[in-house]
Structure 1
């Protein structure tokens, strides 16, 4: 019997791990029986341990001294990957932090199957970095090196929307021309794939993949845009200097609104700069709010509240964000209309990418028979409406919003590595 293999969907917001059992793909329970694990780590300074997923977020929410890191996948292929973050007396490279997360997933897989797993298929977006093939190659190489360093020996990659197509194909009884729409925390990926029960038996599916495209826009970008539009102005963003000649510098506000850049604010230089910005501000009381959030290292908590508001606005037309500050509670009303205005341009770029996929495949929109939607951000109403409007004749099919890619990667791993 050949060694067992598996698939890892290392996502910007959530991750899953798949394996084959009795001829069917399964997801590994990663935390308290749940198959999805938030892609988060918390370095606990009080007990010197590292926590993952929901437990990491809970540690942070309990105000335990430490460092929270999220959206790590977004640093792959960027200049941030070369930087280190301070963990107590040590500086740790982002590649090693990603490796620690992959090791957690590897251990969970091996505990589930009861043996060492050397063979793995890692999911990847169609583009880690938009319009930069060299940076995209570096991103995959960085992920591969992190996996090799943590004990995997044989590593293959598969586009995440192709993995989702493999999962969808298990449940159909006729040939279809499917557009796989996989919109997660960090990227929006599209693939046009011929699927059928007969084609599913083939090992080589290259001829069935008509086109794959992607853009580096996802749920964390919607969080950032919502925060910049409705939260950062309450902290001084777009307010004037005392002399009225310009607005305050925007850089640190964008850092606070961006998951993977929040930790950059926790430095002596950033605090010195923020105090100088306060001195120059026409409304220093707003910048005081910003300084308080950074001083108490509540940046990720703020980003989490923005994310929760976005999720709430997928289900209702209005909500409210309450932010506890040192001297006040900041209450910010939010509406779905406000969210949609904030993300309109980004959604337009996603829609353009879907149309680009059609053009690259050389097919008309009316030839697409099925839209297979997966990834948490497909729940965003504006994005969903836009996707459905582009293909009015296609049947929309809901995939496992967070699990389809992991299941498809398990299927792909069996094809690539075999299991006799």
Structure 2
């Protein structure tokens, strides 16, 4: 039997198998072991492209439909909705199924082995404060795994998987806080780790607490977009009728990766032209109409995401938006990013506090904090996490690979697999 660890993430995906040298992530796109969770459909019915190829097809202006942040629809009402692809429609559930199927086939082609079993990563909570929605999300992901050909399917919390990866470098027993700030969720585990524990098949007694919150990198994108780009398209301006604002729903959909395609549904363009006629600043609404007409929502989201990432290292970045209107650009300061998303960082820190209370531990009982996930690179998020456990040793994991590696370790333990 060959088993894999599959980290199907909101922003990126990895898949690993056990080799003679230990757990290894498989190259899924060229030489890269990390592939964006994106799929691009063409209206002519050709097989969809995934990953960087999907994003490239979209950015190059090819006719078709890009979809990203696929995992975000799990546990939401969107999972049962469909979107227009060419002259037909496809459900979001089927989109996820096609994406996972392509990833599985690519991994098998690269590794030269048929993969029978999977340990799927999952957030601690797909949906906050909704056990029924959480259960349905896992059930949907399990059914999809069966559809694409996995014969044995199990799940592991993503922060526990990251802990298994970190444990390989631990040379003495310690209590660690694992913080995984992914694209869609922030997940935390407090785990007792050590060289004498790492070979135990059952680690339930070593898990002191698990918690999570549905806040991730895409939420930071959303708040940054709403605060910077959307006012350039008319957000926050008024209608000619006194006291009536321009409807905000269009902008919130445009700033939300998983909701962008709603703007391309029939009837929306007619509504936007009506808004333009009655708006105090029709020239701004004209920019919004141009973005929607050109199916440029994901392009704008990519620009905002790139700005957010750049602000991890630079105090200010310029975002060129001349594809919307000649000469249009905006400068974004790191202070703006912090101001617009400070509340998200505070909620992440508060949930870590809940996790510590669930474990019955004070901040000084944590020996190390292990960080993984792209949004841990944001300075104010990093500081918010460390502020909850100020005396802990800080260990930066593989930003995008720790969870997938840990899931692969778990797969080898669960299924007793022989190295591929």
Return the TM-score normalized by structure 1.
0.98
Distance 2:110 2:217 in 1: 30
Instruction: Choose the corresponding residue for 2:290, options 280, 289, 292.
Output: 292
Partner in structure 2 of residue 224 of structure 1? 222
Q: 1:277 to 1:41 in 2, by over 3 A?
A: same
Question: 1:326 Cα shift?
Answer: 5.3
Distance 1:336 1:275 in 2: 35
Question: 1:46 Cα shift?
Answer: 5.5
Q: Is the 8 A contact 1:292 1:325 kept in 2?
A: no
Count of residues in correspondence between the two structures:
418
Q: Which moved more, 1:386-395 or 1:34-43?
A: 386-395
SS in 1 for 2:210: strand
Q: Is the 8 A contact 1:46 1:65 kept in 2?
A: no
Partner in structure 2 of residue 209 of structure 1? 207
Deviations 1:33-87, CA, capped at 9 Å, x for gaps? 1000000001123672310100000000100000000000000010101001111
Question: 1:249 Cα shift?
Answer: 1.1
Deviations 1:183-242, CA, capped at 9 Å, x for gaps? 011000000000001000100000000001000001000000000011111111110111
Partner in structure 2 of residue 144 of structure 1? 142
SS in 2 for 1:96: helix
Superposed CA RMSD in Å reads: 1.1
Partner in structure 1 of residue 273 of structure 2? 275
Deviations 1:338-391, CA, capped at 9 Å, x for gaps? 000000111111111111100111100000000000011100111001111221
Question: 1:113 Cα shift?
Answer: 3.4
Partner in structure 2 of residue 97 of structure 1? 95
Question: 1:324 Cα shift?
Answer: 2.2
Instruction: Choose the corresponding residue for 1:258, options 253, 256, 259.
Output: 256
2:59 aligned with 1:66, yes or no? no
Deviations 1:263-301, CA, capped at 9 Å, x for gaps? 000022111111121122111110000000000101000
Q: Is the 8 A contact 2:42 2:85 kept in 1?
A: no
Q: How does 1:281-320 map to 2 (within 5 A)?
A: 281-320=279-318
Partner in structure 2 of residue 18 of structure 1? 16
Distance 2:78 2:324 in 1: 31
Q: How does 1:83-232 map to 2 (within 5 A)?
A: 83-232=81-230
Distance 1:102 1:315 in 2: 33
SS in 2 for 1:69: strand
Q: Is the 8 A contact 2:6 2:118 kept in 1?
A: yes
2:370 aligned with 1:359, yes or no? no
Q: Is the 8 A contact 1:289 1:325 kept in 2?
A: no
Question: 1:328 Cα shift?
Answer: 2.1
Distance 2:225 2:113 in 1: 45
Q: Which moved more, 1:271-280 or 1:13-22?
A: 271-280
Instruction: Choose the corresponding residue for 2:334, options 329, 333, 336.
Output: 336
Instruction: Choose the corresponding residue for 1:237, options 232, 235, 238.
Output: 235
Distance 2:395 2:68 in 1: 30
Partner in structure 2 of residue 412 of structure 1? 410
Question: 1:327 Cα shift?
Answer: 4.3
2:66 aligned with 1:41, yes or no? no
Q: Is the 8 A contact 1:13 1:71 kept in 2?
A: yes
Distance 1:327 1:250 in 2: 21
Distance 2:325 2:261 in 1: 24
Distance 1:47 1:72 in 2: 20
Q: Is the 8 A contact 1:83 1:94 kept in 2?
A: yes
Question: 1:396 Cα shift?
Answer: 0.3
Question: 1:110 Cα shift?
Answer: 1.7
Q: Is the 8 A contact 1:318 1:333 kept in 2?
A: yes
Instruction: Choose the corresponding residue for 1:56, options 54, 57, 81.
Output: 54
Q: Is the 8 A contact 1:28 1:108 kept in 2?
A: no
Question: 1:243 Cα shift?
Answer: 2.3
Return the TM-score normalized by structure 2.
0.98
Question: 1:23 Cα shift?
Answer: 5.1
SS in 1 for 2:244: coil
